[in-house]
Amino acid sequence: MEHDFRFKVKVGLNLSDDIRRLKMVRDCIGPEKKLMVDANQCWGVQTAIDWMKQLAQYNILWIEEPTSPDDILGHGYVSRCLAPDGIGVATGECCQNCVMFKQFLQSGAMQFCQIDSCRLAGPNEIMAVILMAAKYKVPVCPHAGGVGLCELVQHLSIWDYVSVSKSKENRMTEFVNHLHEHFVDPVVVKGGCYLAPQMPGYSIQMKESSVQDYEYPNGRMWKELLTSGRYTGTMKQTT
């Protein structure tokens, strides 16, 4: 069975370079694979529209964080202008409460809902956002990749699929193979898919050895950094 891999490219610094790189990626993955781009909030509203019009030729599924994450009306305008090109707007990883998500969804300012498990106030608020997204038929595509975020969001995506949406259409969960070795129950990904965890809990417990090594400011690694002379900043010592 062919795996349904999806691809995302960072954009926004240089238009001609973005065009060159997206052409290379599209040539490599073929015309049918899903391709997304991420601007990390670097544009104003009109720049986002003008820039993405130039990239639309590469069959882009979404533009992620095209402008300030607090600009709900701006995202709405970008969404309306890019809709004829088949490009949706993905945002939400910096959205800190369910009221903002409600306004994004009500106004049609997001076509892909990117909840962040550490930005919102825990599972109860996250579940409320997932239910609102289902009401507006907006797929939830959790933001992940930071320290422990993949471990956290796997449960949210599984719950969304099993209990709410019952669909994988245009739904995906980010993954970065980064720092999972520090967790007792790290994520397992095979064939481009998360496997359900086998241990109870939220999969976020860190190994005691990692805590002892990296806890700031008294962890072993911090102390070694201080004594080596390679750290030139200031550090508050605690007892």
User: Could you read off the pLDDT of 4-44 as tens digits, one per residue?
Assistant: 788 999 999 999 999 999 999 999 999 999 999 999 999 99
Radius of gyration over every alpha carbon of the chain, rounded to an integer in angstroms:
20
Q: Which of 3, 143, 166, 182 is catalytic?
A: 143
Query: How far is CA 185 from each of CA 151, 200, 205, 215, rounded to the nearest angstrom?
Result: 8, 9, 7, 19
Q: For residue 23, what pLDDT is reported?
A: 98
178 belongs to the catalytic site? no
Q: Which of 10, 23, 135, 207 is catalytic?
A: 10
pLDDT in tens, 115-174: 999 899 889 999 999 999 999 999 999 999 888 999 999 999 999 999 999 988 899 999
Q: Are the C-beta atoms of residues 66 and 96 closer than 8 Å to each other?
A: no
> Positive or negative CA dihedral for 30, 62, 37, 163?
negative
Stated pTM of the model: 0.89
190 belongs to the catalytic site? no
Question: Which residue ranges form the domains of the chain, and what is each CATH number?
Answer: 7-184 (3.20.20.120)
Which residues touch 8 (CB under 8 Å, ≥6 apart)? 35, 36, 37, 38, 64
For residue 197, is pLDDT > 80?
Answer: yes
